[in-house]
Amino acid sequence: MMGSKLKRIGWIGFILVITFAWIAAPVWAGKKDDVLNIAWEKELETLNLYYQTAREGVILGRHIFDRLIHRDPESGEYKGCLAKSFKWIDSVTMEFELREGITFHNGEKFDADDVVFTLNHMSNPENKVKVYQYVGWIKNAEKLGPYKVKINLKDPTPAAFEFLAGPVMIYPDEYYQKVGMKEFGVAPIGTGPYKVVKVTPGKEIVMKKNENYFKESPKGQPVIGTIRQRTIPEANTKMAELMTGGLDWIWHIPKDQAEKLAQMPNIDVVAAETMRVGFLYFLLDSPQVKTPFTDIRVRKAVAHAIDREAIVKNLVGGDSKVVHTTCYPKQFGCTEEGVTKYDYNPEKAKKLLAEAGYPNGLDVDLHAYRDRPYAEAVVNYLRDSGIRAKLQYMQYSALREIGRARKVPMAFWTWGSNSVYDISAFVGNWYKGTGDDVIRDPQVMEWLNKGDTSIDPAVRKENYKKALQKITEQAYTVPLFTWVANYAFSKELDFKAWPDEIPRFYMSKWK
């Protein structure tokens, strides 16, 4: 009898201990603790940001790392960041004077070696960065002194400043070489306003304010002490957490829910235009799959089948606009002048299909990876014109993989140009023979090349225009509309949204 009683007490004790172990775990929340809780649905594959293309990675990149130059989001002006000053020597040579006294988060000193290493390493095709367009223009970087660097370009590259101010982050050379490409992805070290203190891959990332952030930084000084990012896949869960104070900031909220959230007393909602443009991208030919889009009439039929105005007005809302070319209208070189526009005309679509040999319509898959309702609306419009599209919805990385392997006849893509205000960041990835390009029209590639490498703005514009005209005339893609990002956040948070779709928490503070 005694024994069983002891055993029982032992069990109760055991259960209590375990229970307390759970309860004791800290619960972090909001302004009170100076912790900014944010969430998005994406699991990032790596924090080695040259090896991923997701928007969320771009955002983290602005917080963890700095670049040689900084583009002021307000004025659009280029300012020295890690570089004190910079100048063009000639059209293929740039020179940078670096700031002294900056340290990386691990204490490593920042100097010319870091810059030279990063640029030479990432621009080496053998190291296979994900978007080669951003670094491919670099021939090499040379160290001129401990704080002086020269970059040699392959060809004149007018967009070089844009790339240097955006995707080209500076890594610490010693640390990177020591830990290697993969380990860097879970323990990144930069000079930026926030340092990563904890990474649970796919689950959460905790960043703390960099107390030693260099005072001269044009990005300003970080205010909020801790940023904790969580991955929450369920939209309702995310919104419920925001409503109850478990989160302070979320985004990518569909229009209708954003309108409802805006009515809540403790939540602010901002709808901001973004640089993201959506489009349908065709596979013209492939050894792997059958594609009906070899025939230009089928491509044109798709273009005529979709009522883009209705989608923009009813589904996307905000400042979203229909576009007729695959680029963001405010990017340098982006134009709709002289391009072929396709109006919403289901009758014409059916006629084109019949001419192409599909009088009874055709069956095809539409692949998509985000904003499922938009993709479904497109599917339904196609159906009305006899194109019975089945939606294959999958994750971004998976779609990118099979798309590049030429297995996707038609995909609903979007592109945010990595927030670079130059058309080369957009069309360079989709029509220039590298990256995601599976169309590979040699003439388009040649025009784009000329545009990318001329320093005369007029010549650049002329060549991009020609390329865009050919692309639309051939209906290689169906440009759809620009994106709107709905941000919802706690009323206690001072947050400003920018059109380049990069939330800058280092500029946020508590009210």
Q: Shortest distance, CB of residue 395 to another protein, whole angstroms?
A: 4
Contact (CB, 8 A) for 224 and 206: no
Q: Shortest distance, CB of residue 232 to another protein, whole angstroms?
A: 4
Contact (CB, 8 A) for 194 and 227: yes
- For the record, the structure tokens of 293 come out as 């889009």
Q: Is 295 in the site for another protein (CB under 8 A)?
A: no
Contact (CB, 8 A) for 112 and 258: no
Q: Is 201 in the site for another protein (CB under 8 A)?
A: yes
Among 9, 10, 19, 457, binds another protein (CB under 8 A): 19
Phi (first) and psi of residue 210, to 5 degrees: -80, 105
Sign for the CA dihedral angle at 477, 405, 126, 165 comes to positive
Q: Is 17 in the site for another protein (CB under 8 A)?
A: no
Element (H, E) at 101: none
27 or 458: CB nearest another protein:
27
Q: Is 345 in the site for another protein (CB under 8 A)?
A: no
Gap between the Cα atoms of 124 and 102, Å rounded: 26
Crossing angle between the packed helical segments 255-262 and 235-243, to the nearest 10 degrees: 10
Judged by CB under 8 A, the stretch of 2-10, 23-31, 416-424, 503-511 that binds another protein is 23-31
Q: Shortest distance, CB of residue 344 to another protein, whole angstroms?
A: 12
Among 179, 187, 223, 235, binds another protein (CB under 8 A): 235
Among 257, 294, 335, 340, binds another protein (CB under 8 A): 257
Gap between the Cα atoms of 309 and 305, Å rounded: 12
Phi (first) and psi of residue 138, to 5 degrees: -80, 125
Gap between the Cα atoms of 30 and 505, Å rounded: 14
Q: Is 12 in the site for another protein (CB under 8 A)?
A: no
Among 362, 391, 445, 455, binds another protein (CB under 8 A): 391
- For the record, the structure tokens of 139 come out as 């021939």
CA angle at 425 for the pair 125 and 88, rounded to the nearest 5°? 80
The neighbour count for residue 481, using CB atoms within 10 Å, is 21
Among 91, 237, 335, 449, binds another protein (CB under 8 A): 237
Q: Is 346 in the site for another protein (CB under 8 A)?
A: no
Among 178, 373, 473, 496, binds another protein (CB under 8 A): 373
Gap between the Cα atoms of 455 and 139, Å rounded: 17
Residue 253, Ramachandran bin (φ over 0: left; ψ between -120 and 50: alpha; else beta) = beta
Among 94, 115, 189, 377, binds another protein (CB under 8 A): 377
Q: Shortest distance, CB of residue 304 to another protein, whole angstroms?
A: 17
Judged by CB under 8 A, the stretch of 16-24, 144-152, 267-275, 297-305 that binds another protein is 16-24
CA dihedral 238, 243, 246, 252 (to 10 degrees): 30
Q: Which of residues 29-48 bind another protein (CB under 8 A)?
A: 43, 45-46
Among 240, 330, 338, 496, binds another protein (CB under 8 A): 240
76 or 287: CB nearest another protein:
287
Q: From residue 432, give the alpha-carbon distance in Å to each of 44, 172, 483.
A: 27, 31, 24
Q: Shortest distance, CB of residue 276 to another protein, whole angstroms?
A: 19
Judged by CB under 8 A, the stretch of 54-62, 395-403, 414-422, 478-486 that binds another protein is 395-403
Q: Is 311 in the site for another protein (CB under 8 A)?
A: yes
CA angle at 146 for the pair 144 and 151, rounded to the nearest 5°? 40
Q: Is 171 in the site for another protein (CB under 8 A)?
A: no
**Interface with another protein (CB under 8 A):** 19, 22-28, 43, 45-46, 51, 181-182, 185-186, 200-203, 230-237, 239-241, 243-244, 246, 254, 256-257, 260, 307, 310-311, 313-315, 372-373, 376-377, 379-381, 383-384, 390-398, 400-402, 404-405
